[in-house]
Amino acid sequence: EVQLVESGGGLVQPGGSLRLSCAASGFTFSSYWMHWVRQAPGKGLEWVSRINSDGSDTSYADSVKGRFTFSRDNAKNTLYLQMNSLRAEDTAVYYCARQNWNYNNWFDPWGQGTLVTVSS
Amino acid sequence: EIVLTQSPATLSLSPGERATLSCRASQSVTNYLAWYQQKPGQAPRLLIYDASNRVTGIPARFSGSGSGTDFTLTISSLEPEDFAVYYCQQRYNWLTFGGGTKVEIK
């Protein structure tokens, strides 16, 4: 069974840092591009970042560019999202998602999410 | 940035009724549009990709149509488990999501 499990969320003060992880299983992780998408409480979905299969290329939403770093360890089947200089508006559930070529590179599946709260 | 506008924001219907959800793009996305379903406390789930292709395992009552700037998700006869929030997404130019349509029980 394909599974994505996020961890690392929590409460952090404005200006602080946090590192999220996403553990993948049930598929050949190193063959897939992966994404982070976030959802502020009671709001819609916002794409955050993308990484290619070997980790050599990333892209970011303007809202996080320069503050967040997306990386992966294919030996550990794990994604990482390093979040620095956090702001209140970064408060959200963060989901990792697989870009699935079986469905022309749309997002399938998604993890269950991890909540990040930025507050003093 | 391509803006996706979903309407209505909320759709109040009864089980067995037909649901018609709209997603309008600020510029053409050709057929690079997908639909996701999200239930409370759960992650989004891919339903329809490339505007009209149903994901394996998604019931036939879900269908997608449209191209260019206007897209529709239709649920032919609502089942109790279909009451949820639905999002459209485009990847023609970067990646953006619509604001969602909540389908609630009337």
CB pairs under 8 A between A and B: 54
- Which one-letter amino acid corresponds to residue B52? S
Name the residue with tokens 């339903």: B47
Task: Determine, for residues A106 and B34 on separate chains, whether the beta-carbon distance falls below 8 Å.
Answer: yes
Average confidence (pLDDT) over A15-20: 98
The confidence score (pLDDT) of residue A87 equals 98
A110 vs B53: CB contact, 8 Å cut-off? no
**What is the pLDDT averaged over residues A19-43?**
98
Tokens 């391509």 locate to: B2
Would you place residue A40 in the very low, low, confident or very high pLDDT band (cuts 50, 70, 90)? very high
Mutation target for A interface from B95, B96, B101, B102: give the one with most A CBs within 10 A: B95
Q: How far apart (Å, rounded) are the C-alpha atoms in residues B5 and A120?
A: 34
pLDDT reported for residue A20 = 98
Contact A47 B94 (CB under 8 A): yes
pLDDT digits (tens, 9 = 90+) for B28-81: 999 999 999 999 999 999 999 999 999 999 999 999 999 999 999 999 999 999
pLDDT band at A47 (very low <50, low <70, confident <90, very high): very high
Residue B96 pLDDT: 97
Measured CA to CA, the distance from residue A1 to residue A7 in angstroms comes to: 19
The three-class DSSP label of residue A88 is helix
Asked if A110 and B43 come within 8 Å (Cβ–Cβ), the reply is yes
Q: Which amino acid is at A28?
A: T
Question: Is residue B25 a contact partner of residue B3, using CB atoms and an 8 Å limit?
Answer: yes
CA atoms of A93 and A110, how far apart (whole Å):
12
With beta carbons under 8 A apart, name residues in chain B contacting A100.
46
pLDDT of residue B43: 97
Closest-CA residue of chain B to A42: B40
Across the interface, whether the CB atoms of A103 and B36 are under 8 A apart is answered no
Under the banding of pLDDT at 50, 70 and 90, the label for residue A32 is very high
